[in-house]
Structure 1
Amino acid sequence: MRRLPVYFLLDTSGSMNGEPIQALNNALSGMINNLRSDAQAAETLWISIITFDREVKEIVPLTALETFQLPEITCPESGPTFTGKALEVLYEKVGKEIRKGSPTQKGDWRPLLFLFTDGKPSDLQLYSEMIPKIQSVNFGAIVACAAGHSADNTKLLQLTNDVVHLDTADSTTLKQFFKWVSDTIEQGNKSMGTTDNVALPPPPSEVHLVI
């Protein structure tokens, strides 16, 4: 069975401390449960989670959904947001992990990337340098989410045209966002082989598309 790799880059900088990080954990758990209820996703989906604050950590390596276990995500009380470094780590991981097609083996479907942040990159130069490299990977979709008033839509729009904004990073909003993410993944999973790019489903009222 061909794999559909899905990568999550999650901002865990100090501003996520408290209710936002708890809301993020709960929303991710709900998303995984939603995906597990889809028989096709259960067979093809592989998920990786990378967090970034002052450090970048691969907290779950690329893992099949059927054996995926979500650890509790934590964050420091303060510190920078190294989004550029996160993209650099992602670029290295994708280069090693994505299976290319060969005469004896079908390659993976085009991977999907979801980036979530409530701020803006602290390492702007590296962030700018990594954008063309990430775009060269040929993701089936890159969806970036800016949560809260401190999040910078403009920097995310340099990375992808598919940017959404959340007014808050509270439990209800994040739950709706990650439900929409699971819908996007399921839609992408069903359309693989028929289209190059994943069309985003209509978002709920809490998720605002940035034009």
Structure 2
Amino acid sequence: MRRLPVYFLLDTSGSMYGEPIQALNNALSSMINTLRQDAQALDSLWISIITFDREVNEVCPLTELAMFQLPEIVCPQSGPTHTGKALEMLHLKVQADVIKGTDSQKGDWKPLFFLFTDGKPSDLMVYREMIPKIKSLNFGAIVCCAAGNMADDSLLKELTNDVVHLDNADSTALKQFFKWVSETIEQGSKSQGTGESLELPPPPSEITLVI
């Protein structure tokens, strides 16, 4: 069975400390449970989670959904948002993880990439240097989510046209966002092999598409 790799880059900088990080953990857990109820996702989906604050950590290497164990995502009480360094790690991991097709074997499906942040990159120069490298990886979709008024939609639009905005990072907003993410992934797993690009499902009212 060909794999559908899905990568999550999650902002765990100081502004996420407290209720937001708890809400993020709960929303991720709900998303994983939802995906496990989809037979096609269970067959093909592989998930990786990378967190970023002052440090960048691969908290979950690429793992098949059936074996996936979600760790508790934690964050420091304060500190910068190294989004650029997170993109550096993503670039390395995708190059190492994703199996390319050859004459003798079929490769993985185009990977999907979701980025969640409630702030701006503290390492803006590195962030901008990485954008063309990330775009060259041929993702099936790149979706960025900006939460709260400190997040900069325009910087995320440099990375992808698919940017959504949440008013805040509370439990309701994050659950709605990751429920929408699970619908996007399920749609992605069904559209693989059709030759069609992934169409994002319409977002719920709590999520604003950034035009």
* Coarse TM-score class (shorter-chain normalised): over 0.9
Unaligned runs of 5+ in 2: none
Matched residue, 1:18: 18
Matched residue, 2:86: 86
Matched, 1:203 2:203: yes
Q: Deviations over 1:60-114 (max 9, x none)?
A: 0000000000000000000000000000000000001100112222100000000
Matched, 1:64 2:75: no
Matched residue, 1:119: 119
Matched, 1:175 2:175: yes
Following TM superposition, by how much is the alpha carbon of 1:195 offset from its aligned partner in structure 2, in angstroms? 3.0
Matched residue, 1:185: 185
Matched residue, 2:48: 48
Matched, 1:143 2:139: no
Matched residue, 1:28: 28
**Runs of 4+ that moved beyond 4 A:** none
**2:159 is matched by which residue type in structure 1?**
L
**1:166 is matched by which residue type in structure 2?**
L
SS at match of 2:70: coil
Q: 1:196 to 1:87 in 2, by over 3 A?
A: farther
Distance in 1 (CA, whole Å) between partners of 2:102 and 2:137 is: 18
Matched residue, 1:131: 131
SS at match of 1:159: coil
Following TM superposition, by how much is the alpha carbon of 1:50 offset from its aligned partner in structure 2, in angstroms? 0.1
Q: Deviations over 1:141-161 (max 9, x none)?
A: 000000011010010000000
Following TM superposition, by how much is the alpha carbon of 1:175 offset from its aligned partner in structure 2, in angstroms? 0.3
Do the aligned residues in 2 keep the contact of 1:27 with 1:175 (CA within 8 Å)?
yes
Matched, 1:157 2:167: no
Distance in 1 (CA, whole Å) between partners of 2:88 and 2:80 is: 16
Q: Structure 1 length normalisation: TM-score?
A: 0.99
Distance in 2 (CA, whole Å) between partners of 1:121 and 1:193 is: 35
Matched residue, 2:75: 75
SS at match of 1:51: strand
**1:99 is matched by which residue type in structure 2?**
I
Do the aligned residues in 2 keep the contact of 1:140 with 1:196 (CA within 8 Å)?
no
Distance in 2 (CA, whole Å) between partners of 1:150 and 1:173 is: 16
Aligned length: 211
Following TM superposition, by how much is the alpha carbon of 1:136 offset from its aligned partner in structure 2, in angstroms? 0.4
Following TM superposition, by how much is the alpha carbon of 1:193 offset from its aligned partner in structure 2, in angstroms? 1.1
Q: Deviations over 1:169-189 (max 9, x none)?
A: 000110000000000000011
| Aligned-residue identity in percent | 74
Distance in 2 (CA, whole Å) between partners of 1:84 and 1:124 is: 7
Unaligned runs of 5+ in 1: none
Distance in 2 (CA, whole Å) between partners of 1:95 and 1:3 is: 15
Following TM superposition, by how much is the alpha carbon of 1:196 offset from its aligned partner in structure 2, in angstroms? 4.6
